[in-house]
């Protein structure tokens, strides 16, 4: 049984068991709920703490989104390459802890316990741990750092994704003032960056076009607005509310693109299973050649009634 088939089966089980049978419910499903879930949740190869973006179901989704076994991409990896201390690992784009604290202690402290604001932060915490806020990035070390760790370093980017993109773009352009540590991390993860070798490709692979202006520049959502932590409450609350508003918009935009792909993957695997079943019936003499052709035509019409052939037929190239 291939990675494609196993990951797709896990995804379908998740939709059935956790999303009430509707993939659209991914838009609001909080992955924090999976902490004690043995089937879809906690991954504990190294005894590390629970990480919502590195759960079993998240890893399966990353494989289905990014692998060249599933799409016409050049990223050649297996499901076993994803996870803690492996070639790839899940990452959260718009951070929660940096600005608000893991248990919202910063939100309480820096807002002077503004109760209305605290409620907004509680709602955002649910939004922050949904699939639309996750991606998969290369994960090999350089000088004791990974991209994930370096992004979250308090002395570097403080986990603000637009700051990371701004610095990443300087590395892509080999700017004189590029971040040398990030540049070394890109070299250490050359298996990824030799393929995703431009900001345009990085943007496309990670569904992050909302982070860019129409002209292709990184939007300065937060970079120039990050202030010292000893700011007074009204300025902190204003910055945080803007952060929540922008982050929620970006998350909503990304999940639309992600779900379009996952729906197509599920449909293609279903077609492949039924297509192979028709082949077996003909091979075993249970149907005639004409019946085989007719059943295949009916199958393809069901999933692609207008016969646009817009990527639906890749399934015939792969084994399940």
User: Could you give the CA distance from residue 100 to residue 6 in angstroms, rounded to a whole number?
Assistant: 37
Give the per-residue pLDDT at 126. 93
**Lookup: tokens for 307:** 């016969």
Give the per-residue pLDDT at 1. 61
Give the per-residue pLDDT at 305. 60
Give the per-residue pLDDT at 312. 46
Give the per-residue pLDDT at 319. 56
Residue 158's closest CA among 231, 94, 236?
A: 94
Q: Which residues contact 10 (CB under 8 A, 6 or more apart)?
A: 40, 56, 57, 60
The DSSP bridge pattern shows strands 134-138 and 88-92 to be: antiparallel
How many CB atoms within 10 Å of residue 9? 14
Q: Which residues contact 170 (CB under 8 A, 6 or more apart)?
A: 177, 178, 179
Give the per-residue pLDDT at 311. 45
User: Could you give the CA distance from residue 139 to residue 214 in angstroms, rounded to a whole number?
Assistant: 30
SS (H, E, C) the chain: CCHHHHHHHHHHHHHHHHCCCCHHHHHCCCHHHHCCCCCCCCCCCCCCCCCHHHCHHHHHHHHHHHCCCCCCCCCCCCHHHECCCCCEEEEECCCCHHHHCCCCHHHHHHCCCCHHHHHHHHHHHHHHCCHHHEEEEECCCECCECHHHHHHCCCCCCCCHHHHHHHHHHHHCCCCCCCHHHHHHHHHCHHHHCCCCCHHHHHHHCCCHHHECCCCCECCCCHHHCCCCCCCHHHHHHHHHHHHHHHHHHHHHHHHHHHHHHHHHHHHHHHHHHHHHHHHHHHCCCCCHHHHHHHHHHHHHHHCCCCCCCCHHHHHHCCC
How many CB atoms within 10 Å of residue 171? 20
- The C-alpha R_g of the chain, in whole angstroms, comes to 22
Give the per-residue pLDDT at 317. 47
**Lookup: tokens for 163:** 């700051």
This prediction has a pTM of: 0.91
Q: Residues of the chain whose pLDDT is less than 50?
A: 228, 310-314, 316-317
User: Could you give the CA distance from residue 63 to residue 77 in angstroms, rounded to a whole number?
Assistant: 8
User: Could you give the CA distance from residue 61 to residue 244 in angstroms, rounded to a whole number?
Assistant: 25
Give the per-residue pLDDT at 110. 93
């Amino acid at each position: 049984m291939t990675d494609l088939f196993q990951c797709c089966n896990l995804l379908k089980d998740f939709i059935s068991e956790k999303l009430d049978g509707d993939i659209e419910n991914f838009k609001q499903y909080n992955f924090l709920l999976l902490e004690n879930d043995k089937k879809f949740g906690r991954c504990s190869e190294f005894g590390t703490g629970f990480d919502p973006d590195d759960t079993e179901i998240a890893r399966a989704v990353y494989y289905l989104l990014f692998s060249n076994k599933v799409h016409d991409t050049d990223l050649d990896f297996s499901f076993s390459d994803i996870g803690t201390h492996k070639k790839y690992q899940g990452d959260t784009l718009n951070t929660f802890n940096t600005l608000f604290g893991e248990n919202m202690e910063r939100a309480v402290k820096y807002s002077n316990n503004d109760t209305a604001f605290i409620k907004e932060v509680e709602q955002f915490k649910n939004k922050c741990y949904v699939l639309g806020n996750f991606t998969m990035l290369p994960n090999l070390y350089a000088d004791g750092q990974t991209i994930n760790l370096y992004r979250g370093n308090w002395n570097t980017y403080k986990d603000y994704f637009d700051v990371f993109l701004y610095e990443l773009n300087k590395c892509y352009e080999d700017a004189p003032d590029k971040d040398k540590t990030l540049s070394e991390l890109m070299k250490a993860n050359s298996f990824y960056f030799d393929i995703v070798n431009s900001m345009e490709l990085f943007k496309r692979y990670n569904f992050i076009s909302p982070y860019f202006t129409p002209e292709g520049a990184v939007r300065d959502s937060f970079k120039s607005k990050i202030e010292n932590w000893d700011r007074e409450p009204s300025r902190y609350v204003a910055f945080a509310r803007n952060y929540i508003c922008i982050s929620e918009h970006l998350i909503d935009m990304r999940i639309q693109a992600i779900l379009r792909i996952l729906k197509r993957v599920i449909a293609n695997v279903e077609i492949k299973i039924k297509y192979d079943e028709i082949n077996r019936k003909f091979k075993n003499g249970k149907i005639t050649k004409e019946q085989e052709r007719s059943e295949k035509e009916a199958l393809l019409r069901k999933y692609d009634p207008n016969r646009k052939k817009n990527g639906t037929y890749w399934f015939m190239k792969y084994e399940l």
